[in-house]
Amino acid sequence: MKVVIIGGVAGGATAAARIRRLDEQADITVFERSGYISYANCGLPYYIGGVISAPEALTLQTPESFFSRFRVNMRVRHEVTAIHPDRKTVSVQNLETGEAFEEPYDKLLLSPGAKPTQPRLPGAGLERLFTLRTVEDTFRIKDYINTHHPKSAVLAGGGFIGLELAENLRELGMEVTIVQRPKQLMNPFDPDMASFIHGEMRRQGVKLALGYTVEGFEEKAGGVDVLLKDSAPLHADMVVLAIGVTPDTALAKEAGLELGIKGSIAVNERMETSVPDIYAVGDAVQVRHAVTGQDALISLAGPANKQGRIVADNICGGDSRFLGSQGSSVIKVFDLTAAVTGVNETNAKKAGLAVDTVVLSPMSHAGYYPGGRLMTMKVVFERETFRLLGAQIVGYEGVDKRIDVLAAAIHAGLTAVQLKDLDLAYAPPYSSAKDPVNMAGFMVENLSQGTVRQFHFDDVKNLPRDGSVTLLDARTEAEYGGGHIEGFRNIPVDELRERLDEIEQGKPVYIICQSGLRSYIACRILTGLGYEAYNFSGGFRFYDAVANDRRLIESAAPCGMDLG
């Protein structure tokens, strides 16, 4: 059996190794147009920043090491220029010698990945304008920094690459501005949860120009002007485009393969394309979102590796299936860790789901054990069924393990209420007897049983201030004096029973505290005495962070942010 694989890295290299483990007799050839067949794509920004010091550490396998272990013919600097399904061959060009030839196949795997999105803007070919996707891109940026010692950079795009690169350039002492059209970084997160990421970026000196559209680039004063719509330009010594990726599917389209959303390759659960004996994996393929069931593009290494293994199984006679992707991911943002799984509230609503959320601020481990840090968790669930849909966490230690528990719970089909039943490991240095994941389950259970009713950030501005409802802050007097929401008056929870005469019967009571715990207790006290009470989800800490972030975004003008 002759297997040809177009593209290495996560999906292609994984498939090649798995095919060899399943079939010692298979003839396997991989064509990779870059000079590297298997590299740590996610580590590229950290090489630029010097966290990873050795360039060879980025290359997980070389053509020689891969052949030595797996007897796979790795042909780097070879570009496949056409696919001929009718005669089961591919056209190949050796990029070093110019030689062109055809290679036959019995089974063909497309793993072309995605390419950086490069809009057709004036000045897009400037010398000081970079993209970051491949090892070669990384070396180009690193060499430029070592040679020219730039003092400033503008990053167009606020996704994974943009944030990781911003951190590493700041660690090199550069002034960094991130500019992008959406009014938030990291679109997998809801805007309220992104507020905490924004706060950390600002604390670390990264300037944010959110809600601005890049219209072009101009060389000016020894650097680059980033031209913005309806605003003065940003000036910097270098610019990196990190505005997303586009499936690299020109070959598939020309070969007549069925395409999906945004030009991606359509595949079934076995990762088969519309043409017999041709498979596709990785960032170039359309997948099913495991939560919504809708078509999606999810460019992550984990799904690509799984898909490569599935294709290998099927090429070798098995029947493996890809069940979809939840988009589980985690990112280091300077001192913070931010993680997400499933679908966020914004996209759940776009998908037509009726959803609710709980927001909590638990400690990373037992409060009495030194070193605990607060994390902010948001859990999304379906309103009627309480089906668990997604979660987002921003914090410090312990974020990654909680998101993995929640990812597993979603995959297993648990409801949000069932989170309370999970038997999770506990010791004071690592968790609390009531783990944050359990706490989220307790909160959803209270909602499901009608034990508590809640209101959210976007509800606050619509609450009447005419006396028809009671707005109550259950924190201490000192906390209230340090900042509060206009219209909310202060009655500390521990004084509530003695001050009931200040709360008029027959009017709904909306209550807030610092984290949501004391206001929940206040709700239970008042509900037990016949009041209609609502608890604010997330507490004043959450409200204040989101409100301040939105004010900064609306008031920020990149005019004058000359970083040259």
Q: H helices then E strands: how many in the chain? A: 15, 33
Helix axes 539-555, 191-203, angle to 10 degrees: 70
**SS3 label, residue 120:** coil
Cβ neighbors of 298 (< 8 A, separation 6 or more) are 287, 289, 325, 327
Instruction: Provide the CB-side half-sphere exposure for 421 (13 A, CA).
Output: 7
* 170: its two tokens: 């700041």
Spatial CA neighbour of 476 closest among 540, 545, 543: 540
CA distance 134 to 425: 40
C-alpha to C-alpha distance for 76 and 87, rounded to whole angstroms? 24
Q: State the Cα–Cα distance between residues 349 and 72, nearest whole angstrom.
A: 46
Listed in sequence order, the residues at least 6 apart from 535 whose beta carbon sits closer than 8 Å to its beta carbon are 452, 453, 454, 455, 511, 516, 519, 520, 522, 523
Instruction: Just list the catalytic residues.
Output: 42
Q: Which of 2, 45, 32, 273 is nearest to 167 (CA)?
A: 45
Residue 410 DSSP one-character state? H
Residues present in the chain in total: 564
For the packed helices 160-171 and 191-203, what is the interaxial angle rounded to 10 degrees? 10
Q: Which residue has the tokens 């290495």?
A: 8
What are the strands of the beta sheet with 152-156, ordered from one edge?
129-131, 238-241, 152-156, 175-180, 207-210
Question: What is the side-by-side strand order in the sheet with 388-395?
Answer: 329-333, 336-342, 388-395, 376-382, 355-360
Among all chains, which residue has been given the structure tokens 């209609």? 532
d(CA 14, CA 324): 18
Residue 326 φ/ψ region, left for φ over 0, alpha for ψ in the -120 to 50 degree band, beta for the rest: alpha
Q: Which residues of 215-226 are buried (b: 16+ CB within 10 A; e: fewer)?
A: bbbeeeeebbbb
Q: Which of 69, 49, 268 lies closest to 172 in space, CA to CA?
A: 49
Residue in the block written with tokens 């849909």: 389
User: Are residues 388 and 410 in contact, defined by beta-carbon separation less than 8 angstroms?
Assistant: yes
